[in-house]
Amino acid sequence: MNTNNNLDSTLKALRLSGLAQSLPVRLQEVAANRLSHGEFLELIRFLHDFGGIGPEEE
C-alpha cells in the first residue's frame, strides 16, 4: 500500500512523516486487533512519545 501525496504532506506537517513508512503494518495491526479509531490514534501517540515514530530531521 502506498500513501498518496496528500497524506504524505499532512503527516509531514504533523511531524509524523515516519508513520508513512510503517502505515501499512499499523493498519494490519488495527484490522487484526479490531481497534477503534480512538485506539488507533492512541497507538500512534504511544509510538510517537516512545520513539517508534517521530519528528523528521530538519
Domain limits, the chain: 5-49
Among 4-8, 25-29, 54-58, which stretch is predicted with the lowest mean pLDDT? Answer: 54-58
Give 27-37 pLDDT, tens digit per residue: 898 999 999 98
Cell 509531514, located at residue: 12
CA atoms within 13 Å, Cβ hemisphere of 1 = 12
Instruction: Please tell me the pTM assigned to this model.
Output: 0.58
User: DSSP state, 22?
Assistant: H
Q: Taking the chain, what is the end-to-end CA distance rounded to the nearest angstrom?
A: 26
